[in-house]
Amino acid sequence: MLFKIPAAFIAGLKVENVTSEVASVSVKRKWINQNPFRSIYFAVLSMAAEMSTGILCMGALYKRKPSVSMLIIKIEGTFFKKAINKVVFSCNDGNIANQAVERAIATGEATTVVCTSKGVNEQGEIIAAFFPHGALKQKPAINFIMQISFHGAARTVTGSKHLLTLNNGKKILLDCGMFQGMGAQTDELNRHFGFYPQEVDYLILSHAHIDHSGLIPLLVKQGFKGKIFCTPATKDLSEILLEDSAVIQRDDTKYSNKKRSKKGLPLLEPMYDLEDAAAAIKLFTEIDYNNRFTIEDGIDVLFTDAGHIIGSAAVSLRIKEQGKITHITFSGDVGRYRDVILKSPENFPQADYILLESTYGNSLHQDIYETKEGLLNWITKTCLQKKGKLIIPAFSVGRTQELLYALNQLENEGRLPHLTYFVDSPLSREATDVVKSHPENFNHEVQQVLLHDKDPFDFKGLKYITTSDESKQINFYNQPCVIISASGMADAGRVKHHIKNNILSNDNTILMVGYCEPASLGARLMRGQKEVRIFGEEYEVVAEVGSIKSMSAHGDYEDLIQFISNQDKVMVKKIFLVHGEYGVQSDFAKRLEGLGYTVEIPGMHSAEMLG
Ligand SMILES: [Zn+2]
């Protein structure tokens, strides 16, 4: 292969740059928007719009879509005219696109190849790599510019994926998370990365949460073969989380397909299966906190404790290229200072660029110690007074252990009501075991509790549910009880069934204890919707809906500002805000700018030059 099409860059092109001469494109944009490789197509337009000279040999051919092929030809005739000798069509697959370009070069159809992003930088200087025909018989020296592109958790909170491309063309992916709770578009977003997995050289994983790790098996299935670096606890957690994700997909697909087949709709396929998850885990390589590790010559990584969940890390990269060192830190998710179980986030080395999460960039949490009391109040009201069931959607990792720890504390204080406390999630049990196996990550207070209570996550009345038959039996359990079940946004997993089965009684309470994507079932309940759709059917919300906001595993804006407070502001060239809703990010950006930082809120699939 002569070169790779830098898809990440292409995906970030600004389509607004296209001039009115190609206005006809907008007519077809609706169709193009449905096409996963629309970005290549946009690239043709955008590059041509920005460059006054040069010849482009990259395009998009949709053989079976004559209207679009014709459209490109039309553009060639009217807009490209003198600028382009030949437009080489490639088809809707990255590899075939590359082959088409190679072929075009070999046959002389293309006289110049452009293989970088916009073709020009912000100053209008040409930065594209141009290769006159003939010169390509030698290996081309491709001139990439170090850049980062954002393919998830960009103006939204899930799907964390940030791709760093070095000057030498090496690609390092930071996290490979799944989009969650984004309504009808969730599946579509998850199935199209916006870059080519086979082009990624390394993956660095900040922590095991599925919105940061959940698409790793799909990445591997689609051709990624590099190493995956993370902390030991993150590896342990990822192993069970990715397996679980494969099982959820299998079960959800089966459930949906039953309904779809009745309606005569086409059946769905899961994104990956258990074998894909197992293949992905084989690529994991553990690195301890505070152990600077050389990935390859010129690329070092350092993990520091981010205090968010067991094993969570801020990722600090030191890249040395052509004698210049660039420091880039990706915060991952940042926990809270004075977390109930975990240590506080650690300082990280001085950075030139920081990718900072911003989930709670415009709010302050309640006092963290109110969690235990809030929980006791809801148990008392629902289970003791109304004799109902308290359903708590909770992420298996982090949130469930916090709940168990709070309930255990209540028992230690002799205040825990005698009830059955179901934890209905095999994953939650496994995750709790992983957490217990990494006591080195606990804070001082938990270390003290361990001196007299050897299992601070276990108490009388706790019952783990493993099989789905046992889970269904809970429906017939007619005593007041507490049901802790995943997922935390109530968008997937067994908790959806528990909500469906208990939503029609005023005796019951659905207690939300963490962040919910606006389109998720959890958020719809928290907004006070009178009716909600669950598994395709409308349900009236009769049960009470409560929330304990203090249960967040994410820092608020004071925590986030404290997290970066060890940095010399003058040396930080830019902070990219990721992992937040746009409105929240805008507020946080103003706050950070007020402190003297330069801040950018990158959009989905956008790319930014570094250095
Ligand atoms: Zn997280």
Q: Let me know whether 315 and 455 are in one domain.
A: no
Structural domain contains residue 465: yes
Q: Let me know whether 592 and 523 are in one domain.
A: no
What amino acid occupies position 90?
A: S
- The first and second tokens of residue 28, run together, are 């077809």
Q: Where are the beta strands (DSSP E) in 94-155?
A: 112-114, 130-132, 147-150
CA of 180 to the centre of ligand 1 (A): 12
The last residue of a domain, from among 500, 526, 547: 547
pLDDT digits (tens, 9 = 90+) for 115-171: 322 233 333 332 222 222 232 333 333 345 688 989 999 999 999 999 998 877 799
CA of 279 to the centre of ligand 1 (A): 23
The percentage of residues in the chain with a pLDDT greater than 70, rounded to a whole number, is 75
Q: Let me know whether 543 and 558 are in one domain.
A: no
- Measured in whole angstroms, the distance separating CA 355 from the mean position of its chain's CA atoms is 13
Q: Let me know whether 151 and 121 are in one domain.
A: no
CA of 500 to the centre of ligand 1 (A): 27
pLDDT digits (tens, 9 = 90+) for 273-284: 999 999 999 999
CA of 231 to the centre of ligand 1 (A): 14
Rounded to the nearest integer, the mean pLDDT of the chain is 79
CA of 395 to the centre of ligand 1 (A): 10
Q: Let me know whether 78 and 160 are in one domain.
A: no
Spatial neighbors of 157 by CB under 8 A, at least 6 apart, are 211, 359, 515, 517, 579, 580, 581
pLDDT band at 496 (very low <50, low <70, confident <90, very high): very high
Structural domain contains residue 60: yes
Q: In this predicted structure, what is the pLDDT of residue 188?
A: 84
DSSP line for 222-289 = TT--SEEEE-HHHHHHHHHHHHHHHHHHHHHHHHHHHHHHHHTPPPP--S--HHHHHHHHTTEEE--T
pLDDT digits (tens, 9 = 90+) for 211-242: 999 999 999 999 999 999 999 999 999 999 99
pLDDT band at 370 (very low <50, low <70, confident <90, very high): confident
What amino acid occupies position 277?
A: A
Task: CATH number of the domain at 434, please.
Answer: 3.40.50.10890
Q: In this predicted structure, what is the pLDDT of residue 395?
A: 87
Q: In this predicted structure, what is the pLDDT of residue 551?
A: 64
CA of 207 to the centre of ligand 1 (A): 7
CA of 457 to the centre of ligand 1 (A): 21
Structural domain contains residue 141: no
CA of 604 to the centre of ligand 1 (A): 19
Q: Let me know whether 530 and 454 are in one domain.
A: yes
CA of 63 to the centre of ligand 1 (A): 42
CA of 334 to the centre of ligand 1 (A): 8
DSSP state of 177: P
The last residue of a domain, from among 101, 132, 163: 132
Total number of domains constituting the chain: 3
Which residues make up the environment of ion ligand 1, defined by Cβ < 5 Å?
209, 333
Task: CATH number of the domain at 291, please.
Answer: 3.60.15.10
Q: Are residues 526 and 548 in contact, defined by beta-carbon separation less than 8 angstroms?
A: no
Q: Let me know whether 251 and 358 are in one domain.
A: yes
Structural domain contains residue 138: no
Q: Which residues span the domain enclosing 394?
A: 370-547
CA of 314 to the centre of ligand 1 (A): 12
CA of 312 to the centre of ligand 1 (A): 8
Q: In this predicted structure, what is the pLDDT of residue 33?
A: 37
Is the backbone of residue 344 left (phi > 0), alpha (psi -120 to 50) or beta? beta
